[in-house]
Amino acid sequence: MNILAINTSDDVLSVALKMNDEMLSNQLQAKRNRNQSVLIMIDQMFANAGLEPRDIDAVAFGVGPGSFTGLRIAAGVAQGIAFGIDVPVVPVSCMAAVAQKQTCDKVIVAIDAKRSNVYWGRYVRNSSGLMDLCGEEKLSSIADLDFSGEGWCGAGSGWDMHTEKLIQMSPQRFEWAKNQTPHASEIALLGEGGLNQGSGRDACLAVPNYHSPYFM
């Protein structure tokens, strides 16, 4: 199975191409012309892999949280490619992608949302090695994070911004990883898992999750 993945949720654009057990990826720091830059990166990715767009089975993209404009770019590019070759899209949570990068099996991801608020979720690795959401992704004050249970670690910009307060809130010794952001490689992994579980959607449904407070 070949999965193209796109993440433009922040200033680091990334694309990945998962071909069975092989992964190709690239990233670029870009604040301007992000839509043009990501298309160039995708073209280069296909050239390096010796594939054509018609050779892929689905397009996965980071659905949020993240920059409002960035998320629209990822959704728009994913929609255009998927529609053109008649394959499904698979929206993937950017917080789940952050969790997927971690080596521990239970991760509390917290993304800074300003004014002492965070987007957060709890993720547990399943038997296939992919992170499953435990409960719901939420937007709340830092004080509302759920630290119940044992064996959790932390990741995400919320931990970078509010380290001391979050560690003080934890009832146990807590480890967290610095500077963890979503990447297309993890979106590809989670996108393939989602596709296998029936989460693929028609290309016309490739939109950011407007019903969640995902935009920064």
* pLDDT digit string, tens, across residues 27-62: 998 767 778 899 999 999 999 999 999 999 999 999
Inform me whether the pLDDT recorded for 214 exceeds 60. Answer: no
**Residue 108 and residue 160 in one domain:** yes
**Residue 32 and residue 67 in one domain:** yes
**Residue 75 and residue 128 in one domain:** no
Q: Tokens in use for 144? A: 């509302």
Residue 213 forms part of a structural domain = no
Q: Mark residue 23 as left, alpha or beta (left: phi above 0; alpha: psi -120 to 50; beta: remaining).
A: beta
Domain coverage including residue 75:
2-94+182-205
CATH of the domain at 161: 3.30.420.40
Q: How confident is the model at residue 215 (pLDDT cuts 50, 70, 90)?
A: low
pTM, two decimals, is 0.94
**Residue 18 and residue 78 in one domain:** yes
Residue 26 forms part of a structural domain = yes
Residue 186 forms part of a structural domain = yes
Mean pLDDT of the chain: 92
Residue 211 forms part of a structural domain = no
Looking at the structure of the chain, the number of domains it has is: 2
**Residue 36 and residue 79 in one domain:** yes
| DSSP codes joined into one string, the chain | -EEEEEE-SSSEEEEEEEETTEEEEEEEE-SSSHHHHHHHHHHHHHHHHT--GGG-SEEEEEEESB-HHHHHHHHHHHHHHHHHHT--EEEEEHHHHHHHT-SSSEEEEEEE-STTEEEEEEEEE-TTS-EEEEEEEEEEEGGG----SSS-EEESHHHHHSHHHHHHH-SS--EEESS----HHHHHHHHHHHHHTT--B-GGG----TTSS-B-
Quote the pLDDT of residue 44.
Answer: 96
CB count within 10 Å of CB 86 equals 9
**Residue 84 and residue 187 in one domain:** yes
**Residue 11 and residue 80 in one domain:** yes
Tens digits of residue pLDDT in 59-113 = 999 999 998 889 999 999 999 999 999 999 999 999 999 999 999 999 999 999 9
- Nearby residues of 9 by Cβ (< 8 Å), 6 or more positions away: 62, 64, 65, 66, 67, 70, 71, 74, 94, 182
Instruction: Tell me the sheet residues that pair with 109.
Output: 121, 155
